[in-house]
Structure 1
Amino acid sequence: MIKLIQQLWHRYQAVLAYLIFGGLTTVINFVAFWLFNNLIQWPYLISNVIAWLLSVLFAYVTNKLWVFDAATPTLKSLLQEAGAFFGFRLLSLGIDELIMFTGISILHGNPLLVKLLDQIIVVVLNWFFSKLFIFKERH
């Protein structure tokens, strides 16, 4: 049984690690959004950007070190990788803000429910961005 678990982990390590750290990133994003939007009562789009910033910083470190095991031997390669990561995350932030605006301002949805749906979409998009464009050395 242990050998089977080890084989499955080895085979699906990147996906499983992404689900674990993606889940933690989503929790950070969701809690930060709730904190700034509900407790501090800042506008939801501003709260969303702050939540995005905090979660993206966490996501970069965890994706680099434990999900994609990406080596950057030079400062230039590190800056290129970080630039691509944050660039694609800015793209997903635009999609994120559009979903939040549509769900809350146009459809009058509950901000936390809209945020939950939004995060599912954004996590999937970010997986593809990371896998195909940012941390491509490992596959």
Structure 2
Amino acid sequence: MEKIKALIKKYYEGLSYLFFGGVATLLNLVLFALFQAVFGTDFATGAGNVLDNAICILFAYWTNRTFVFRSKNTGKAAWAEFGQFVSCRIFTMVLDQVIIWLGVTILAPHVAFAAAHGELWAMGVKLFSQVIVIVSNYVFSKLLIFKKK
């Protein structure tokens, strides 16, 4: 039991990032699917994707600051941290949007499966995009935003 506790303590940051990142990704995918079901794929891959990313950015900041990186910054330093976090997440949101646009608008018309199963194709593109976004977000968070001083 002590070995397990030691491993958890040693790898806490990575494990907690995976857990809370997974929750944020699940929230992102659920909102995407909800928007797709209620408003259609065009909305979900456009304005809905931006909206669900904005919601998830706020959720991710709170969980990353509080549970993953355990930031102790206050005042101006906390606001600077928040600004860096949002700036980096806006970058990855744009990356997400570009991947979705390429996959759904540019690539889909040339793929038979996409033509037959547009909503499922869009969700697959979103899942692919999330893998790239998660890795990018971790690198930004670890190296730029919540770096240990």
Indicate the TM-score class for this superposition, using the shorter chain for normalisation.
Answer: over 0.9
Does the 8 A contact of 1:60 with 1:85 survive in 2? yes
Q: How many residues align?
A: 136
Displacement after TM superposition at 1:38 (Å) = 2.2
Deviation string, structure 1 residues 44-93 (Cα, Å, up to 9, x no partner): 111111110111111000000000001113x1011100000000001101
Distance in 1 between residues matched to 2:100 and 2:46, nearest whole Å: 7
Aligned to 1:135: 146
Does the 8 A contact of 1:33 with 1:50 survive in 2? no
Distance in 1 between residues matched to 2:53 and 2:82, nearest whole Å: 16
AA at the equivalent of 1:79: W
AA at the equivalent of 1:66: F
The SS at the match of 2:71 is coil
Aligned to 1:14: 13
Aligned to 2:31: 32
Deviation string, structure 1 residues 10-58 (Cα, Å, up to 9, x no partner): 1110000000000000000000111112222252111111110111111
- What TM-score do you get using the length of structure 2 for normalisation? 0.88
Q: Which stretches in structure 2 are left out of the alignment for 5+ residues? A: 109-113, 115-120
AA at the equivalent of 1:15: G
Structure exhibiting the larger radius of gyration computed from Cα positions: 2
Q: Which stretches in structure 1 are left out of the alignment for 5+ residues? A: none
Distance in 2 between residues matched to 1:28 and 1:124, nearest whole Å: 17
What are the within-5 Å matches in structure 2 for residues 115-126 of structure 1?
115-126=126-137
- What TM-score do you get using the length of structure 1 for normalisation? 0.94
